Each structure stands twice: as C-alpha cells, then as structure tokens.
Chains A and B, each alone.
Chain A
C-alpha cells in the first residue's frame, strides 16, 4: 500500500488483481476494441491526408479570379464549360493586384500569395502542336503555393525570359527535353520561342500534359495582359478553413474566390462521409467495449457481495463503495487502451511492411500520433467509468446484512 493511494484505489486495484482471469480477459477485450479504433483512425487519417495532398499537389487552396460579369450557374461541369468559354472570349485582369497581394500576405490565415497570369496557348515543336495552359508565375511565390521545385524530374525551376518549365507528359508528346526549344502562340496573335529549363511531374497526367510555366512578364506579353494577372493563388495554414477564408476575401474585395473545398466538392463530400461512417463504427465499438466492462463489473459486484458487506460494516460509505467500482472501470479502460495502442502500433508496423507499391516504397505514410493514443486512453477511461456507473450503484445499494449472511 503506497501512502499516497486513497483507500478506494487500493481496494479497486486489489479486487482487479484478485479476480485475475476476469481482469485479464476484459482488459484484452477493451484492448482489441481500442486497437481497432486507433488502427482505423490512423489508417483513415493517413489515407485521407494522402488523398488530399495528392489532390492539392497541383491546386491552390484558394484561387482569386476577377469578378463575374454574369450570375454563374451552380454545378461543376457547367461551370467548367463556362470558364473555358469565358477565357476563350477575353482574359481579364484583377484590378490593383499588387496592393491586394501585399494586403493578403499580412493575413494570419494565409501562408503564401502567388499572382498568376494564365491563359490558353499552343505549344509547337516540329510537326507537333498541343493546346496548353500558359502560366506566368513568380517562381518563388508559386513554389510556396504549389511545391513545384520539389517535383522536378529534370532541369530546374527557372523561368527567366525565354525559359519555360513543362510537364513530363507534354515533353513526351512534343519529344522535347531540357535545353530543347519550343514555340508558343496565343489567340492574341503573339508568339515566342522558349527554351525548356525543367520538367515537372505533379502526379496528375492532365496537369503534366497541359501546364507550361513561364515568367510572369513573358505570360503577360503573350496573353496581352499588360502588367495584369488573371488570378491570385493562395496557400493557407489550415486547409479546412479554405471555404471560410474564400468567402471573407470575396466579401471584402468583390473578387470571385474559389476554395479547393468547393472546387472538389464531390471529393470533399466523399471524405466527409467516410469520416462519418468511421465515427459510427467507432461509436459502436466503444459501445460494445462499454457493455463488456459493465457486464464484468456487474458479475464482480455479485461475486464480491460479502466483501462489500464487510467493508460497509467496517465503516465504508456508499460513496466509497461506488468509487471503488467506478475506479475499476476506469483502470480497466486505461489498461485496455494502453494495450490497444500497443496492438494498433504493431498492426501499423505490419501494414507498413505489407502495403507497398511495385517499387517497394510505402503506399502512404501512416502513424499513430501520440495525441491519438492520449485521446484513446482518455476516451477508454471515460467509457470505463460510464460503464461502471450501473455496477457501482448496485455495489453501493447492496444491503450489508444480505451481503454478510451465510
């Protein structure tokens, strides 16, 4: 007996230790439940953040565009069509984009601001002629929104005058490599010959075939934007707040602000419903863990009637009896969650060994975050206490005379 331990804790621990088989079985039961929850949570969050990362590898969190002139119909395909149509008709610039850029840069939610001058163009090399999207960027700023420099397969991220960075797909279609020349022409009638300085792979075939990065000035000349930009790309510190930030910017500037959440509405809905269904599963696992703990404790109250009676005769109050059983629930929950976290950790280690792509590198990174273990421990402790409420009440209400007889 350690001097700091209250009587209730001492009794709870002794009771659990004495009913060893039962205690071990229920702790293992709780552990398996917690392991499934932790494993599933880690897997799901790893999977989802991987999907989100892939989706956002070639998309800004928020894109600011010049204000719409006509009410835009809702719905994705229609909008995309309109977008193309409008761009084909006329490129418009964002008014006063430099002060706006500097102002946005000071927002605490915004991590990076990158003005872009973009529009349709044709890339020509020899006989090959491909429709592309020309993007004029400030490479340092752009890289903070869409990490391009890290995705280069060859060459470097250099878009000085006369230089362009193109995707690996376009390079293949045009038969061009680093150092080769290609010619860009636009609807405005401008044309320029550029040298390929780098090849990127953003993990999206369409983007790899379409995007051609040049300097801001080059694009402005080719697209007849004369010092203007057609959009401003933003990176945020917190992805989940994209919609809220977009709405605030739109309200404050009159610009159209598209968040990735809206642009990828179906995808985001899919992620959300995946999370909802996993929460439902988690809830039912927690429920069955709670029933497991409760049933073991109810049996234990019956088995220990006599000891409960003795403790009551020795002056233990109903409140003390109640706490002894609540504590047993909490201890079983906590031990189970520790065991469960260890189990989940080894499941994940196994998963990491098995889930590899052809080249043998992991499909995606998943880890048991310490916070998750903390939450599991706290949650299981709480579930244990809640599960023990009924047994504890029975223990407290037990008639000591009945308990002691025989």
Chain B
C-alpha cells in the first residue's frame, strides 16, 4: 500500500509554559490515506484548528511524530518545513485569506510564484485553468478584495490546488458563507477530490456537511473520541 498522506503518532501540543502551561492536544494518533475525504468535527475549543495548524506545518507539536507523504518532519528546520508545506499541502481558511494587493489570478498563482521565484506564462495558464474550474474565469483580473465571500473562497480553493498538493487542509471553509454558497463550495471540494484524488481534511461545525464526507473524526477536549467511516447520502 502507498504511504499515507498523513500520519500522526502521539501528537501533543502545550501552549505556554510553567504555571500557565496548558495542554490542548493529549496524544493524537491519526492516519489519512491518499484520496480520503475526511471531516474533523468537535465542540469549540476542542483543538481542531490547533491540530490543523500542526498538520499544515505552521506550528510544531510539543511531542509526538508527524509525517507528511512518508517524510518525517521532526528534524526539519523552518526552511525544510516551508518547502514540504509548499509542495504537499494546500490551505483553505475560514476567512478566505486572499492577498488584496493581488488579482484573483495572481492569488491563485501565488504558491507557484513563491516556489519558482519568478513569474512565468505556465503558472498563469495553470491559474486560469483552476479559476475556470471553480467557475471564476471571468473574474481573474479583479483585485481579490472586490469579490464576494463565496467567490473569494472559491479563489482560495483554486489557490490551494495550484501546487497539486496531496493533501488540502480546510478550516471551516464554509463558516462565513450562506447556505447556498456553502453548498457550492463544499461540492467543489468533493469534485476535486473525486477528479484528482486529492486528500481532504475539513474542519466543520455543520453536521449536514460532515455527513457528506467519507469519514468523520471527532475531537473533544484534545482527544479523538470517534473516528468512523461514513456513507455519504
């Protein structure tokens, strides 16, 4: 069997130190196979975002092992983590988080630009194709902050896919959208998963959306209390 896209073993995260130290994650074991489409649910403050940031290599665990695409991350320095993150992981955040100084297409091309150092025609062609895929081809020259919330989130999805990552992490990607836009955005993630075989780990508060995933992982007080396959209806 191929390497899992993601493997966590005994991951702990402590914030602060000394008197004020508090452990937020108490030993998380998790494995995500290529092509899996998983929901991460749990009450507010249970540590979902914390876990996602660790997996996204934006933060380091206090203890435990974390490997991405079969590569252990424990010994990597900041540059090594950054490189791994850029190559393997796409992000979609709750607050879309586009760069307002760049147009929609430039935002989508951003991960490629960051990785290659200089703009080229190929990266914009890829950005245009991705914008086409998310239905925003005609908006590609708009500054990012002139798009609606749903449109911005679609641009963010296109951006997350720019590097053809094995894993996309989405932290409440529909949290700020009305029901219709939320459905559309979620549908888009699902389609990309089916077409490209990209793995997804999606944090959501919406049980309706969670039920549309293949697997539901539930986190309570920093522990995984349930992890079961799900049959999307």
Tell me the chain A residues, 1-38 only, with Cβ under 8 Å from chain B. Answer: 1-7, 10, 14-15, 17-18
Interface string of B99-126 (1 = CB under 8 A from A): 1111000100011011111111100000
Complex partner residue of A5 from B56, B78, B118, CB under 8 angstroms = B118
- A61 interface residue, CB < 8 Å from B? no
The 0/1 profile, CB within 8 Å of A marked 1, for residues 28-70 of chain B is 0000000000000000000001000100101100000000000
What number of B residues sit within 8 Å (CB to CB) of A? 35
**Cα of A318 to Cα of B53 in the assembled complex, Å:** 17
A328 CB to nearest chain B CB (Å): 12
* A interface majority secondary structure: helix
Q: When each residue 309-325 of chain A gets 1 if its CB lies under 8 Å from chain B and 0 otherwise, what string results?
A: 11111111111100000
Closest CB-CB distance, B105 to chain A, in whole Å?
10
Complex alpha-carbon distance, A102 and B83, angstroms: 73
Question: Does chain B have a CB within 8 A of A306?
Answer: yes
Contact B110–A314 (Cβ < 8 Å)? yes
> Which chain A residues lie closer than 8 Å to B85 at the CB level?
313, 315
Among A309, A314, A400, A405, the residue within 8 A (CB) of B159 is: A314
Is A307 touching B99 in the complex (CB atoms < 8 A)? yes
Residues of A within 8 A of B78 (CB): 317-318
Which of B58, B100, B116 is in CB contact (< 8 Å) with A313? B58
B79 partner, pick from A3, A14, A318, A406, beta carbons under 8 A = A318
With a cutoff of 8 Å between Cβ atoms, the chain B residues found around residue A320 in the complex are 114
Assess whether B82 is interfacial by the CB under 8 Å rule: yes
Q: Are A311 and B118 in contact (CB under 8 A)?
A: no
CB distance from B115 to the nearest CB of A (A): 6
From known contacts A313-B91, A401-B53, infer whether A6 and B118 are also in contact, taking CB-CB under 8 Å. Answer: yes
Task: Check B79–A314 contact: CB distance below 8 A.
Answer: no
Q: Is the pair A314, B114 in contact by a Cβ cutoff of 8 Å?
A: yes
In the complex, whether A404 has a CB less than 8 A from a CB of chain B is yes
Kindly supply a per-residue 1/0 record for chain B positions 114-143, scoring 1 wherever the CB is within 8 Å of any chain A CB and 0 otherwise: 111111110000000000000000000000
Q: In whole angstroms, what is the CA distance A152 to B113 when docked?
A: 72
Check A7/B113 contact, CB under 8 A, given A310-B99, A313-B91, A317-B79: yes
- Bound CA–CA A18/B145 (angstroms): 12
Task: With both chains docked as a complex, state the minimum distance between the C-beta of B47 and any C-beta of chain A, in angstroms.
Answer: 13
Q: Inside 8 A of B159's CB, which chain A residues have their CB? A: 314
Q: Mark A367-382, 1 if CB is under 8 A from B, else 0.
A: 0000000000000000
B58 touches A401 (CB 8 A): yes
Minimal Cβ-Cβ distance residue in B for A3: B119
Q: In the complex, which of the residues B93, B102, B115, B116 contacts A14, with contact meaning CB atoms closer than 8 Å?
A: B102
Select A7's contact among B49, B98, B118, beta carbons within 8 Å: B118
A14 contact set on B, CB distance < 8 A: 99, 101-102
Q: Is B173 an interface residue (CB 8 A)?
A: no
Task: Return B146 CB to nearest CB of chain A, in Å.
Answer: 13
Known contacts A315-B82, A315-B86; decide if A17 and B118 are in contact (CB<8 Å).
no
User: B95 to chain A: which residues have CB within 8 Å?
Assistant: 406
Contacts of B117 in A (CB 8 A): 6-7
Roughly how many angstroms separate A315 CA and B118 CA in the complex, as a whole number?
Answer: 14
The answer to whether A400 and B120 have CB atoms under 8 Å apart is: no
* Best-buried of B83, B99, B106, B121 by chain A (most CB within 10 Å): B99
Chain A residues 317 to 371 lying within 8 A of chain B, measured CB to CB, are: 317-320
Q: Give A309 to B49 CA distance when docked, in angstroms.
A: 15
Inter-chain CA distance A7–B113, complex, in Å, is: 6
Min CB gap A91→B, angstroms: 79
For the complex with contacts A3-B118, A14-B99, 11 further pairs of A-B residues with Cβ separation under 8 Å are A3-B121, A7-B119, A310-B97, A314-B86, A314-B110, A314-B114, A317-B79, A318-B79, A319-B79, A400-B59, A401-B59
Q: Can you spell out 16 A-B residue pairs with CB atoms less than 8 angstroms apart?
A: A3-B119, A14-B101, A15-B101, A17-B101, A307-B101, A310-B98, A311-B99, A312-B82, A314-B86, A314-B91, A314-B110, A315-B82, A315-B87, A315-B163, A320-B114, A406-B95
Interface residues of A (CB under 8 A from B): 1-7, 10, 14-15, 17-18, 306-307, 309-320, 399-401, 404-406
Shortest 3 CB-CB contacts between residues of A and residues of B: A315-B86, A14-B101, A18-B101
